[in-house]
Structure 1
Amino acid sequence: MEIHKFNIHLASHFGMCFGVRDAIKSTRKTFDDEKVTVLGQLVHNPIVDEELKDNGVQQAELHEPVNRVKGTVVITAHGASNKDKEAWKSKDRKIIDTTCPLVYKAHQALEGLVDSGYFPVVIGKKEHVEVRGLIGDFPQALVVENENDISNIPNVKKIGIVSQTTQRIDRVELIVNRIRSSKRKSDVKFIDTVCAPTKNRQLSARNLSEICDLVIVVGGANSNNTIQLVNTIKEFGVHTIHIQRSSDLDPDWFEGFHEVGLTAGTSTLKETVMEVHGELEKISHGHHFNELEKLVC
């Protein structure tokens, strides 16, 4: 292995949040059940997917015919609409609901806005499972993925806004301000539902960007919060590489870099991050391990 000399800086907040951790823990407890099916991807993490598959856990789609699935059924950390949850209830199935409490709060916030007469708007990725769950009970709801979607919001008296929990808060606030500017005659109410773990990891990523010339971000390829971390760091002009596991690392990447940052999305196991850190130590002659190295949600 070619050796490069660089310092390693670990983000102060990184990796798995409590919602993902608890979802995995609850699903692991079902491994002895006769038949277990997860409705979708439990968390956006290929390593967790492999563990579930190795333990006989099957995967089905949330909206496929419910009579095809028996036994233990797991609702993912991303949540689901009340309508979908009711559809899966049956004497033939044991339901394990691992919806993240902070996702559930977003559901409650949106429901409260609708009950108060606000037209529902969700800022987030239109095809993301969390967003589909949020709007599932409100067919009138509009998803705003970017500023171009704002023009689709109808001219109504009251507009209520929540966000996908893993969105970047700066982007969310920008869109909310644009909505307020374009809907001056409307009562626009925004409830901040971006979760604290996401905010903490975003802030830590920005801090890394100030001291590093290369940052490695660990997380699933389809993990929204991981992708948002990558985008945040890139906006600071820092070279950024997104990997899923330690075996993805290539020593040639580090030629000419001196300060290497390491962070991870909220679906990433802490042991995966530590494996990546171990490989970085092997690639580098020396390293500096950030003082703030504890996993904090």
Structure 2
Amino acid sequence: MIDKLLQENRFSFYAPFFRVFICIYLLKDIIIMWQFNDIIYKGNSFAYPNLSPFLETFNINTHLVRENFNVFYSIYILLILLFLLGIGKRITVFFLFICIEITQNLAWITLNGGDNILKFAILYFIFIDSYSKYSITPLKYKSEYSRQIGNLLSNLGGYSLCFHFCLVYLVSALHKINADVWFNGVATYYILGSERFRGTPWNVALVKNGFFVTLTTYGAVIIELFFPFLVWNKRFKFLLLIAAALLHLGIAIFMMLYDFQILFILILGFFITNKEWTIIHQKISHNLYSLKTFFIKESSIKF
């Protein structure tokens, strides 16, 4: 197994795409939060920093960051752009992780579960080689031995992200099982019926349907409980990936939790191998080409 991990970067197809997504995601957050910088991040903020063990270990002074926030933010944006272009490679990702850790600690009151796993995804990208595509230059190895070590680190980083995702699902499922509303199959009734999560005009009608409430409540628990164990099985993998994607898509539509769910859906791509992604890409390209050819023929006939 170790020999297989040494020979090939198993995430070389999908990791570059996810790297670009992370950068766009972070830049989007900066744009959205820009008007709130004074009250969230800067010296007159109402939110007191909740220091993490990481920041305490490196003795990073968040008060100093608040007082010089514009300088810090400029460095943060520069690191995102460098990561987007693939400049600096692992060193850039390391400093970007530190900046995100600082930013999240300054604005801890605004965070959700998606922000938490995003931070860890960037931590894993210190090891994942995502520079084979969408990068100014690929990551170069001086020898075959260094290339194999690079593959090993990249694979361990990618699988760590997958295992972390599975752990999130498993812990969530175990907590749900021990909660009365989930155990009794009525959690969806209280969630979708809440004014806070009323994402569509159909929410009120749907929570009155007992079959829908029971199915969605137990369905969410079953997906989260069995996903960590069965997603590694080729028979069940794509069935579970589709089910998980639909679960998060439903949460995004009916509960208006968009960022959180988009991030989780895209992390599912790490469970698909390079070979499987290549086949999917070829099929999509073939279908798009066939569709293009069809429209060209149709327009030629009409002309």
Shorter chain as denominator, the TM-score bin is under 0.3
What TM-score do the two structures reach when normalised by structure 1?
0.25
Q: Which has the higher helix share?
A: 2
The structure with more radius of gyration: 2
Query: Quick check: which one's strand share is greater?
Result: 1
